[in-house]
Amino acid sequence: MPLLPRSISDAIEALSDLPGIGTRSAERLVFALLKNENGLEQKIGITLQELKKNLHECEQCCHLAEEPLCPICQDSGRSDKQLCVIASPLDLLALERTHEYRGKYHVLHGVISPLDRVRPEDLRMDSLFDRLKKDVPEEIILALSGTAEADATALYLHDELGKIFPGKISRLARGIPSGGDLDYLDAGTLSRAMLERRAFD
Ligand SMILES: [Zn+2]
């Protein structure tokens, strides 16, 4: 006999499919929702249903946006002199939390990973190269975190960019733990890594 009504076990199963949420966390979340008297489960249900509806990639930087350009590309207060290349929108959020960077971004949506069959052409590299034909920054910062795949992606990009981009190419300072995504780093560490960035050579 199942211990729980189907509606509850279905909700637990769905939530435990999320990264970082095991069965026990999912159970706690579902029971917290059952206890909540403000209709939180409905609110979450509706926001999640709407989540992907109007979403697409920014025409310029490939960050997620609801308008043709994302808020960062629309912000005239941001400098065009620096372009920071990152693997995911989560890295953008992590870097923004440091309040250290006022340039623009380009989101690759992944890193090269032969094991997962992610090739350079699966990432937003062409849009980066196209973008550089129109706007040439003074510096490109390859803020790809310390996994082997991210390092390989940075190396690949460095070689490709070297063919078309005359400016400075830099990378974050050491201190990024190996295997750590940028969004797992505390703001202080990331902020230092950005401030003490060095030439990519
Ligand atoms: Zn954008």
- Ligand 1 centroid vs 109 CA: distance in angstroms? 13
**Residue pLDDT, tens place only, 115-159:** 999 999 999 999 999 999 998 999 999 999 778 899 899 999 999
| Average of per-residue pLDDT across 104-121 | 95
201 band by pLDDT with thresholds 50, 70 and 90 = confident
- Ligand 1 centroid vs 28 CA: distance in angstroms? 37
CATH class for domain 56-199?
A: alpha beta
pLDDT at 79: 96
- Ligand 1 centroid vs 192 CA: distance in angstroms? 25
- Ligand 1 centroid vs 72 CA: distance in angstroms? 6
- Ligand 1 centroid vs 73 CA: distance in angstroms? 4
**Residue pLDDT, tens place only, 17-28:** 999 999 999 999
pLDDT at 102: 95
pLDDT at 91: 92
Q: Where do the domains of the chain lie? A: 6-50, 56-199
- Ligand 1 centroid vs 106 CA: distance in angstroms? 7
DSSP code string of the chain = --SS-HHHHHHHHHHHTSTT--HHHHHHHHHHHHH-SS-HHHHHHHHHHHTTTT-EE-TTT--EESSSS-HHHH-TTS-SSEEEEESSHHHHHHHHHTT---SEEEE-SS--BGGGTB-GGGTTHHHHHHHHHH---SEEEE---SSHHHHHHHHHHHHHHHHH--SEEEEPPS-SPTT--GGGS-HHHHHHHHHT-EE--
pLDDT at 172: 87
Prediction pTM value: 0.86
**Residue pLDDT, tens place only, 35-62:** 999 999 999 999 999 999 999 999 999 9
CATH 1.10.8.420 fits 6-50, yes or no: yes
- Ligand 1 centroid vs 135 CA: distance in angstroms? 13
pLDDT at 2: 86
> Is pLDDT above 60 for 70?
yes
